[in-house]
Amino acid sequence: MKFIDNYLNKVTMYRLVLYALVFLVAAAIPLSVFHKVPFSTTDLLYSIISVFVVSYVTNKVFAWAFDAPINVESMYISALILILIVTPTTTSDPASYLSFVCWVSALSMASKYLLAIGKKHIFNPVAIALVFTAYTINESASWWVGTVYMAPLVAIVGFLVVRKIRRADLVLSFIFVALLAIIIPSILKGGSISPFENVYRTIFQSPVLFLAIFMLTEPLTTPPTRIMRIVYGSLVGVFFIPTLHIGSIYLTPELALVLGNIFSYLVSPKEKLFLKLKEKVNIALDTYEFGFTTDKKLSFLPGQYLEWTLTHRDPDSRGNRRYFTLASSPTEDILKLGVKFYPELSSFKNKMLFLKKDDVIVASQCAGEFVLPKDINKKLVFIAGGIGVTPFRSMIKYCIDTNEKRDIVMLYSNKTTEDIAYKNIFDEAETKLGIKTVYAVTDKGQTLDNPNMKSGFIDANLITKEVPDYKERMFYISGPHSMVTMFEKILAEMGIPKKQIKVDFFPGFA
């Protein structure tokens, strides 16, 4: 499992989803050769070309018309989903199929621009496009990917996607409720099909897995908090029942998702910000703080994150989107990011490093539950590694500006003293609020002239020494995935219950 996590940590969420969908489409080719899917290889290839050409052209046109940044990954993902759920029946009636596929592909791309409020789209693009085609040209998706031969493949790559984005709560709540909603009525009506057979059919002969993993989890149409995600998944699960109808309108998987999207929009942040760079400051070794101005105030809690989109030429395998935790406090006028730049830069970070004053970056999807507890009397320990200190800078700056006194001890690990970021903020917090920061410097060749600086790694001994009442405290951990995992294990061995540990996480971490 560690090997899998190490791989997943090197690829962004969007790129992983793209790879998974490419794999599923590629797997369908040999299946079509052996007649295990309801179309020929020629039909599949025809479908791939048609969907991609129409999607690419439509996306280009609307991006130009709306002067919006193009997200190539998003376009490819939508196109691949369409290929996997719309049966390529070109042999029997190629003209009719081409009309349908062109219409649904164009609608899917156009919906991202036309069905948007504040430049944030409301509906899953593919789902809303299919709902439109059902009521305009009477053509719908067959969801052919939900077959006994494709389901195991969907489950395998889907496991990787769900583990990456950590949205098992959403996926499982949907599947669980969908199964109950199908099985219970069948039992009450005394149907001849056993519950086991119903489960088998739902998992292996319906699109439940594909819908849950690749469409329900789309970040832009997913609620930001765990509780709301569970409600969202459960709601779509209820709507997923194939026999459920409103008058003459029977619910389909795509309509179930669209109805769920409405709920998600109502309970989710609405902001999509076009930010201008105001300043870029070197705050530590190879680490810069970026300050951005915005026309409207962003409402957020200290410790939350945003999705950042930076359009640039020839994006590499990690794409043009990232999730970064805000380093700024809600009390500050500009939005701040602290970013570490390593020797081998991705195309995104290379573009970011050379941003100039007034250059624009797009931010949206404010989310995250790595925030201060409502009870200000709760004792806390912050454990940070490297630039993972940014949410703590946000929290501590907020405490300083609001004069909110909390019992906090922060343990902050870096390789050298030059790597320490935001020391001025933490020193101010110690002076004004008594918030203590212990700096662990792992390079043994460093000269440490500050009593709060310790040589070596943060371990159980250091925690016990610096935080004698550690069993009474809530632990917050932020840093590289490997570091977070290590400290979860250390704290568990020290007798800290899981409920007293919070870890910083956002989808697409890479």
447 and 398 in one domain? Answer: yes
Residue 3 or 473, more confident:
473
Residue 290 has pLDDT above 50, yes or no: yes
Q: Does a structural domain hold residue 127?
A: yes
The residue from 309, 336, 367 where one domain ends is 367
- Tell me phi and psi for residue 385, to 5 degrees: -125, 120
261 and 279 in one domain? Answer: no
339 and 301 in one domain? Answer: yes
Domain span at residue 497 reads 380-503
284 membership: H or E segment, kind and range: strand 272-284
What is the rounded distance in angstroms from the CA atom of residue 126 to the CA atom of residue 110? Answer: 10
- Tell me phi and psi for residue 99, to 5 degrees: -60, -45
Total count of residues recorded for the chain: 510
**Averaged pLDDT for residues 195-209:** 88
One-letter amino acid for residue 358 of the chain: D
Query: Please, what is the end-to-end C-alpha distance for the chain in angstroms?
Result: 17
Per DSSP, helices labelled H in 151-252 are 151-165, 168-188, 195-204, 208-210, 226-239
What is the rounded distance in angstroms from the CA atom of residue 333 to the CA atom of residue 119? Answer: 23
One-letter amino acid for residue 1 of the chain: M
What confidence category does residue 417 fall into, taking pLDDT thresholds of 50, 70 and 90? very high
Q: What is the pLDDT of residue 327?
A: 96
Residue 278 has pLDDT above 70, yes or no: yes
163 and 191 in one domain? Answer: yes
> Which of 292, 276, 164 has the alpha carbon at shortest distance from 219?
164
161-170 as b/e, with b when 16 or more CB fall inside 10 Å? Answer: bbebbebeeb
433 and 290 in one domain? Answer: no
3-class DSSP state of 410 = strand
Q: What is the pLDDT of residue 277?
A: 96
Q: Tokens 């507890």 identify what position?
A: 373
> Which of 36, 259, 258, 13 has the alpha carbon at shortest distance from 145?
36
What is the rounded distance in angstroms from the CA atom of residue 310 to the CA atom of residue 350? Answer: 11
Output the domain CATH number for residue 492: 3.40.50.80
Q: Does a structural domain hold residue 91?
A: yes
Q: Are strands 408-414 and 436-441 parallel, antiparallel or unpaired?
A: parallel
What is the rounded distance in angstroms from the CA atom of residue 123 to the CA atom of residue 218? Answer: 10
Q: Does a structural domain hold residue 372?
A: no
- Tell me phi and psi for residue 110, to 5 degrees: -65, -35
17 membership: H or E segment, kind and range: helix 13-33
Please tell me what DSSP assigns to residue 212: I
**Averaged pLDDT for residues 101-124:** 87
Q: What is the pLDDT of residue 6?
A: 73
The 3-class secondary structure across 226-246, one letter per residue, is HHHHHHHHHHHHHHCCCCCEE
Beta bridge partners of 337: 290
Residue 474 has pLDDT above 70, yes or no: yes
What is the rounded distance in angstroms from the CA atom of residue 388 to the CA atom of residue 482? Answer: 12
Q: Please, what sign has the CA dihedral across residues 343, 349, 350, 352?
A: negative
223 and 91 in one domain? Answer: yes
Highest mean pLDDT among 209-213, 221-225, 264-268, 349-353: 209-213
Q: Does a structural domain hold residue 374?
A: no
Q: What is the pLDDT of residue 501?
A: 96
> Which of 284, 299, 289, 149 has the alpha carbon at shortest distance from 209?
149
**Averaged pLDDT for residues 348-372:** 91
289 and 222 in one domain? Answer: no
Share of the chain above pLDDT 70, in %: 95
Residue 377 has pLDDT above 60, yes or no: yes
Q: What is the pLDDT of residue 506?
A: 58
Q: What is the pLDDT of residue 509?
A: 46
**Averaged pLDDT for residues 67-84:** 87
336 and 246 in one domain? Answer: no
Beta bridge partners of 455: 441
What is the rounded distance in angstroms from the CA atom of residue 334 to the CA atom of residue 339? Answer: 16
256 and 121 in one domain? Answer: yes
What is the rounded distance in angstroms from the CA atom of residue 188 to the CA atom of residue 471? Answer: 50
What is the rounded distance in angstroms from the CA atom of residue 348 to the CA atom of residue 353? Answer: 9
Concatenating the DSSP letter of every residue in 307-360 gives EEE---SS--TT-SEEEEE--S-TTSSSEEEEEE--SS--HHHHHHHT--TT-E
- Tell me phi and psi for residue 262, to 5 degrees: -65, -45
One-letter amino acid for residue 83 of the chain: I
Q: Give CA separation, 261 vs 122, 128, 214, in Å.
A: 7, 10, 14
Residue 508 has pLDDT above 60, yes or no: no
Q: What is the pLDDT of residue 97?
A: 78
498 and 419 in one domain? Answer: yes
159 and 13 in one domain? Answer: yes
Tokens standing for residue 215 = 């469409």
Q: How many domains is the chain partitioned into structurally?
A: 3
The residue from 209, 237, 267 where one domain ends is 267
Q: Tokens 């800078």 identify what position?
A: 393
Output the domain CATH number for residue 315: 2.40.30.10
Residues 397, 425 contacting (CB under 8 angstroms): yes
Q: What is the pLDDT of residue 507?
A: 53
Q: Does a structural domain hold residue 509?
A: no
What number of H helices and E strands is found in the chain?
A: 17, 16
Q: Does a structural domain hold residue 363?
A: yes
The residue from 232, 267, 302 where one domain ends is 267
Q: Does a structural domain hold residue 108?
A: yes
**Averaged pLDDT for residues 418-438:** 96
63, 316, 355, 224: CA torsion to nearest 10: 70
Query: Mean pLDDT in the chain?
Result: 90
**Averaged pLDDT for residues 359-365:** 90
96 and 182 in one domain? Answer: yes
341, 166, 162, 82: CA torsion to nearest 10: -80
Q: Does a structural domain hold residue 373?
A: no
Predicted structure pTM score: 0.82
Q: Please, what sign has the CA dihedral across residues 89, 94, 96, 98?
A: positive
